[in-house]
Amino acid sequence: MPTTQSRYHEVYARWRSDPEGFWAEAAREIDWIRPAETIFDPKAGVYGAWFTGALCNTCYNAVDRHVKDRGDQAAIIYDSPVTGTKRRISYAELQDEVATLAAMLEEMGVAKGDRVVIYMPMIPEAVVGMLACARIGAIHSVVFGGFASKELATRIDDARPKLILSASCGIEGARVIPYKPLLDEAIALSATKPDSCLVFQRSQCEASLVEGRDRDWAAEAAKARSVGRKAECVPVAATDPLYVLYTSGTTGKPRGVVRDNGGYMVALKWTMSNFFGVEPGEVFWAASDVGWVVGHSYIVYAPLLHGCTAILYEGKPVGTPDAGAYWRVISDHGVVTLFTAPTAFRAIKKEDPNAELLKGYDLSSFRALFLAGERADPDTLQWAENILNVPVIDHWWQTETGWPVAGNPLGLGALPVKHGSPTVPMPGYILDVLDEGGKPVGPNTMGSIVIKLPLPPGCLPTLWEAEERFKESYLSTYPGYYNTSDAGYLDEDGYVWVMGRTDDIINVAGHRLSTGGMEEVLASHPAVAECAVIGIKDQLKGEVPCGFVVLKSGVRTEPAEIEKELVALVREKIGPVAAFKLALTVARLPKTRSGKILRGTMKKIADGDQWATPATIDDPIILEEIGEVLRGRGLAR
């Protein structure tokens, strides 16, 4: 609840006056093999580096060090309504599983610095896989299951993994999605072939294994166990990469966000008590997917580093079996804190607007709801507050930062809530809002939100094998700052308001997608002359993509037929996660006289927002035509 007792201002001021002292103190929460020589070295890396000279192991800190005092405590509770399974894995059992898998990886030739791609559903083996890599200093790269083969292939080509960990299938509600054919196709498409694939066979679907390349997970594990083979934690530099996580950029080629070991551990551990207000031993649930950054940071690493019990939930907010699923999990496992995307709450609200299903469950353990991944719209936020009667906390961050840039720090004492704002910057972050010329704007004025360099521990030091791209994508537009590519403003109280992106990235059901990437797919269709993809408002998913295409003259196929092909093509090339269902044929696209497509104005028309004809437009009639096409599909008002 809002309090005037918050320690936030004092703690933030302490960090500003002595950032290195602040992070050195936070670093005492981590067990180091060798402590840092320098807390922050401004000469290392692209913008400096944290904890240089230190040696550590993230798996040790997340798993092994808890075994003595909390060996019997559940480290992970796997709750899978889609398979009707619940499984409790203690810290001692997790250590055993991780050390065994790590030994299997070593036996298959994986060593420190090698990459391992993980293409898996939300099952314990995915988490064990991540930790096993961390244990031996291998760099994992988890690819979300909703991406299609081509996207997986692009990531394989960039990361060049020695080995791929996968499973026979994922389960989406009532549907079983075989993963292995997608994996085989991706490997066929990619220029770099992994030496081997370790495949976890699920009972819902048996995958066929490729001779000489694929190995059966359970059989290999049984072999390792029969001889008691286990791997020890390998010392790595704090600045060595723990993982590479690909995220959408402004082109079809995703950006490989690098995360290091030391700074990440320090920052995540700090957030657990100071931001989330959670104590070791408590049950923490992030209802996301291990394929996203939220999954990396708050399903796996942060709760385990803190000695919490992490929930691994294989299901949806609705339909598995109903809109009471979240309440059931909270009450079954004594969850204290739930972290999810606003879209999940919009889905629950739509199905059960009066929260009737809540009545059957005991939520006495539950203390707070945290929302991130997209803007928390005030309606959804208030609805959640009303039905749950606990603080509902919006916080803002990105794959690149790895942990919250801004939020309401419950652990330090919550500040007054302003609906629609993720509150204030966390220690580590100085935010500014700049105009197009790079000049700071005053309070309540929209501009580009930027973070003053250096970025704090835990944020990306670079992009995978693409330092120039890192500089160009994030650091070159506003020298001295990291450009978040989010637009918004700071108000008179220093609260930040994040209103949308300044680039072509859209947010669909909390998933970050590049419209540029979708345009590349549409443009590859032989009938398409030109195209534009924009994100348009959607009540459930926040935004959904909408593609406008101009067909080549002389194309004889019916436009409706081509539209269907385009929808199928995006699903095939990018994946179902793109949620691309709208392809609209138009006669012409609205452009400026210099030939730039007026995507912003098209979006306003589609969203039913106020719009004005841009002075630079080539032919204003085209905007009317776009409106007509949209209205014809029941889309624009």
| Residue 170 contact among ligand AMP, ligand COA, none, beta carbon within 5 to 8 Å by kind | ligand COA
> Residue 34 has what DSSP assignment?
B
- Check residue 381 for interaction with ligand AMP (CB under 6 A): no
Give min distance, CB of 86 to ligand COA, in A.
Answer: 20
Short-list 462, 139, 94, 99, CA closest to 303: 94
- Check residue 145 for interaction with ligand COA (CB under 6 A): yes
End-to-end CA distance of the chain: 40
Give min distance, CB of 166 to ligand COA, in A.
Answer: 12
Short-list 58, 237, 224, CA closest to 135: 58
- Check residue 373 for interaction with ligand COA (CB under 6 A): yes
Among 106, 240, 432, 486, binds ligand AMP (CB under 6 A): 486
Among 115, 349, 375, 604, binds ligand AMP (CB under 6 A): 375
Q: What is the distance between the alpha carbons of residues 272 and 280, in angstroms, rounded to a whole number?
A: 9
Residue with smaller CB distance to ligand COA, 338 or 424: 338
Q: Which stretch binds ligand AMP (CB under 6 A): 106-114, 309-317, 390-398, 606-614?
A: 390-398
Among 59, 134, 187, 509, binds ligand COA (CB under 6 A): 509
Instruction: Report whether 117 contacts 194 (CB < 8 A).
Output: yes
Among 14, 367, 452, 501, binds ligand AMP (CB under 6 A): 501
Residues in Cβ contact with 264 at an 8 Å cutoff, skipping those fewer than 6 apart: 58, 242, 301, 402, 457, 458
Give min distance, CB of 277 to ligand AMP, in A.
Answer: 18
In which element (H, E) is residue 343 found? helix 342-351
Instruction: Report whether 290 contacts 299 (CB < 8 A).
Output: yes
Number of Cβ within a 10 Å radius of residue 14? 15
Q: Which stretch binds ligand COA (CB under 6 A): 341-349, 395-403, 461-469, 597-605?
A: 341-349
> Residue 165 has what DSSP assignment?
E
Residues in Cβ contact with 467 at an 8 Å cutoff, skipping those fewer than 6 apart: 46
| Residue 347 contact among ligand AMP, ligand COA, none, beta carbon within 5 to 8 Å by kind | ligand COA
The answer to whether the bond into 321 is cis (omega within 30° of 0) is yes
Residue with smaller CB distance to ligand COA, 308 or 341: 341
Q: What is the distance between the alpha carbons of residues 317 and 323, in angstroms, rounded to a whole number?
A: 6
How is residue 1 written in tokens?
A: 């609840």
How is residue 104 written in tokens?
A: 């299997």
- Cα–Cα–Cα angle for 410, 23, 439, rounded to 5 degrees: 80
In which element (H, E) is residue 264 found? helix 262-274
How is residue 296 written in tokens?
A: 């990396």
Q: Which stretch binds ligand COA (CB under 6 A): 13-21, 77-85, 310-318, 360-368?
A: 310-318
- Check residue 579 for interaction with ligand COA (CB under 6 A): yes
Give min distance, CB of 240 to ligand COA, in A.
Answer: 27
Q: Which stretch binds ligand COA (CB under 6 A): 134-142, 312-320, 478-486, 491-499?
A: 312-320
Residue with smaller CB distance to ligand COA, 144 or 495: 144
Residues that bind ligand AMP (CB under 6 A): 247, 293, 372-376, 394-396, 398-399, 422, 484, 486, 498, 501, 507, 512
Which residues sit at the interface with ligand COA, rule CB under 6 A? 145-146, 170, 172, 177, 288-289, 292, 294, 316-318, 341, 343-344, 347, 373, 509-510, 541, 576-577, 579
